[in-house]
């Protein structure tokens, strides 16, 4: 529909890329991009902590899969240097890692990509709308938008809708459009979902005070958790993990919090390594100070009750 074309044009302009392409879901977006672009005899290199959709997409491609230690640039260079120079290479990372809220080291990744003649794709599902002065995501945050070849995003986070998209060079987006099976053999996003994204995009572009409020909330909550004795891990974003370690304790804390009206996500293996269970919390600009104080109070009471803090 014309509405879908309008959305793709708006997304391309917003992301400062030549073109954009919308998919039915974020998962299908990653499946389509990677399985289409990586061919037999080529290499796809991923951080070990990337989203499950990237892992599945790599399996669907005919390329050779390489993994490097989480955010370890020396290990990434080790992997890149081991691949024949003539082989096509695509590095794929999350911009914001969804469980622990840390950021990909994009400045170093793009330097290594240039050195070893690789392309870079960033899954910025949790970065777009939040990171960067204009909400364009992790690449904008680091000032490397021109060095990142493809940026993928979802509509189910900051855009409050459903679907996904990829933005990049026009010729690459056109190729994906004509060969991505997860796009061609799936229904398009509903017009209602598209309209929601268009409306939300206006808010992201024109109401920066919402991002400012979100970052103020993030600072308050991170400092609040840490003052109680909780470990919030490596987070640099509004995704704030409360590191527990033991699976049973994580579930016990999650249940107590829920009984007190606090919704969180318990995260255990295989979503995180064994012995690194956590309670995942994330925030919205619409959370009030009263909401936040209640959350901190419940975490303190429940954590002390269980002997976690």
Q: Which of 98, 158, 182, 193 is catalytic?
A: 98
Q: Let me know: does 267 contact 305? Beta carbons within 8 Å.
A: no
Element (H, E) at 170: helix 170-179
Q: Which of 126, 158, 161, 193 is catalytic?
A: 126
Can you read off the two tokens belonging to residue 206?
Answer: 């024109």
Rounded to whole angstroms, the Cα distance separating 83 from 50 reads 21
Q: What are phi and psi of 19, to 5 degrees?
A: -155, 165
Can you read off the two tokens belonging to residue 250?
Answer: 């994580």
What totals of helices (H) and strands (E) does the chain contain, helices first? 12, 10
Q: Which of 89, 141, 157, 222 is catalytic?
A: 157
Q: Which residue has the tokens 């499950």?
A: 52
Known catalytic membership, residue 126: yes
Q: How many other C-beta atoms can be found within 10 angstroms of the C-beta atom of residue 66?
A: 18
Known catalytic membership, residue 119: no
Element (H, E) at 10: helix 2-15
Known catalytic membership, residue 98: yes
Q: Catalytic positions, please?
A: 98, 126, 157
């Amino acid at each position: 529909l014309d509405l879908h074309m309008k959305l793709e044009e708006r997304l391309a302009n917003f992301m400062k890329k030549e073109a954009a392409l919308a998919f039915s879901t974020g998962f299908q977006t990653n499946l389509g991009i990677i399985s289409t672009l990586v061919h037999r005899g080529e290499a796809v290199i991923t951080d070990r902590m990337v989203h499950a959709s990237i892992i599945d997409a790599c399996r669907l491609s005919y390329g050779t899969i390489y993994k490097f230690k989480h955010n370890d640039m020396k290990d990434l260079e080790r992997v890149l240097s081991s691949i024949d120079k003539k082989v096509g290479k695509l590095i794929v990372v999350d911009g914001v890692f969804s469980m622990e809220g840390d950021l990909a080291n994009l400045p170093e990744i793009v330097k290594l990509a240039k050195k070893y003649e690789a392309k870079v794709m960033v899954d910025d599902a949790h970065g777009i709308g939040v990171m960067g002065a204009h909400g364009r995501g992790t690449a904008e945050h680091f000032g490397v938008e021109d060095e990142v070849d493809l940026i993928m995003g979802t509509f189910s986070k900051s855009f409050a809708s459903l679907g996904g998209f990829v933005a990049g060079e026009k010729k690459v987006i056109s190729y994906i459009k004509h060969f991505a099976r997860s796009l061609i053999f799936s229904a398009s996003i509903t017009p209602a979902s598209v309209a929601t994204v268009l409306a939300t995009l206006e808010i992201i572009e024109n109401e920066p005070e919402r991002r400012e409020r979100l970052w103020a909330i993030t600072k308050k909550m991170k400092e609040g958790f840490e003052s109680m004795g909780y470990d919030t891990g490596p987070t640099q974003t509004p995704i704030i993990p409360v590191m527990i370690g033991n699976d049973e304790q994580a579930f016990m804390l999650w249940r107590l919090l829920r009984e007190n009206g606090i919704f969180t996500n318990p995260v255990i293996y295989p979503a995180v390594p064994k012995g690194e269970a956590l309670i995942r919390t994330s925030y919205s600009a619409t959370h009030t100070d009263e909401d936040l104080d209640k959350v901190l109070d419940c975490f303190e009471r429940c954590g002390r009750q269980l002997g976690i803090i």
